[in-house]
Amino acid sequence: MKAYLILEDGTVFEGTSIGSTREVISEIVFNTSMTGYLEVLTDPSYAGQAVVMTYPLIGNYGICKEDMESGRAWPDGYIVRELSRIPSNFRSGDTIQHFLEEQDIPGISGIDTRALTKILREKGTMNGMITTNGSFDLEEVKERIRAYQVTGVVLKTTTKEKYVLPGEGKKVALMDFGAKKNIARELNKRGCEVTVYPADTPAEEVLKTKPDGIMLSNGPGDPAENTEIIKEVRKFYESDVPVFAICLGHQLMALATGANTYKLKYGHRGGNHPVKDLETGRVYISSQNHGYAVDEHSMNPEVAVPAFVNVNDKTNEGLKYVGKNIFTVQYHPEACPGPQDSGYLFDRFLRMMEEER
């Protein structure tokens, strides 16, 4: 069945329908990872977005549900050059085509994803529609596409109830703003007891349990939209509890302490982004998935100072808070699959909790 991708600037790509055949309007973003498509599909940070995979062959090792980063797929749509119909991997339990159908994710294959990515890089992230209806009115559709906004996605993706992952070591409160499972796994395998809280949990409720540390997770959408959550994050800052924050959590802590965030032209999404540790000068290869960044120049240097920088475009990739046991990073040290370079940050968080005691 034919399918069409229509961008808000009027560009139309024709390809083949994959997955669900329902029509969807979403923000179109691209990911440069060569592997890890299941992790991409199940990353809550993609809520409200349709993902273009720049690598030309997707699905060749099938689906292994043990690798899912959450209980379901989150993107609104999925866009690929070629979809492998016959996976080859001893761990594979399903095809990506069936997974997309099962998860009701509409998609399109057979289009020039490199050309599409160039458009998004040159013109910036834009909205688009995936449809199997070939008789669309382009002008009418463009108006609907332009009107789309990504809103309310943190509360959509967060856990609905608190739950605990047992451990014999430090007690960590993980604020789930759309958390990937691997954040809790990384803490758990270091012996931590991890209590996962819904995003709208009051800070007082968390702090009264006397956690050894607080983890602020990744998540989707515009960080500045979360005004009530930002007020609670401020209370975590004012406490003496060690805090480690990743991606959206990094942005929320910055907003809670007086800095601003802004939307990047086309974001950072992939497993090959170099970041430099400003203290040591060492460069790490990182996994990233974000469309917004912290304006480090808007941060009071008496509150926090830059700790990491993106080597490609010099955007902020982390902050160290002055006089506080708080550090935050824009990238994903828990990323799996992907570079393991930054796993040491979880060990740093453990040392902070031990020193605080």
Query: Which pLDDT band holds residue 341 (cuts at 50, 70, 90)?
Result: confident
Q: What is the pLDDT of residues 139-181, one digit of tens each?
A: 999 999 999 999 999 999 999 999 999 999 999 999 999 999 9
Which of 32, 23, 30, 31 is CA-nearest to residue 5? 23
332 has catalytic annotation: yes
64 has catalytic annotation: no
Structure tokens at 61: 């090792």
Predicted confidence (pLDDT) at residue 25 exceeds the cutoff of 70: yes
296 has catalytic annotation: no
Helix (H) or strand (E) holding 339: none
Question: Per the residue annotation, which of 268, 273, 290, 332 is the catalytic one?
Answer: 332
Q: How far apart are CA 337 and CA 33, in angstroms?
A: 10
**Under CATH, domain 154-356 is a member of which superfamily?**
Class I glutamine amidotransferase (GATase) domain (3.40.50.880)
Average confidence score pLDDT of the chain:
96
Asked if residue 308 lies in contact with residue 318, where contact means CB atoms within 8 angstroms, the answer is yes
The residue whose two tokens read 């395998």 is: 189
Structure tokens at 37: 């498509």
Question: Per the residue annotation, which of 8, 69, 193, 334 is the catalytic one?
Answer: 334
Quick one: pLDDT at residue 33?
94
What's the DSSP call for residue 94?
B
| Three-state SS at 245 | strand
CATH architecture, domain defined by 2-150: 3-Layer(bba) Sandwich (3.50)
Predicted confidence (pLDDT) at residue 4 exceeds the cutoff of 90: yes
Residue spans of the domains in the chain: they are 2-150, 154-356
Q: Give the C-alpha distances (Å, rounded to integers) separating 262 from 19, 125, 126, 293, 296.
A: 33, 13, 16, 6, 11
Predicted confidence (pLDDT) at residue 212 exceeds the cutoff of 90: yes
Quick one: pLDDT at residue 85?
84
Q: What is the pLDDT of residues 78-102, one digit of tens each?
A: 999 999 989 999 999 999 999 999 9
Q: What is the pLDDT of residues 256-278, one digit of tens each?
A: 999 999 999 999 999 999 999 99
Question: Per the residue annotation, which of 247, 296, 317, 336 is the catalytic one?
Answer: 247
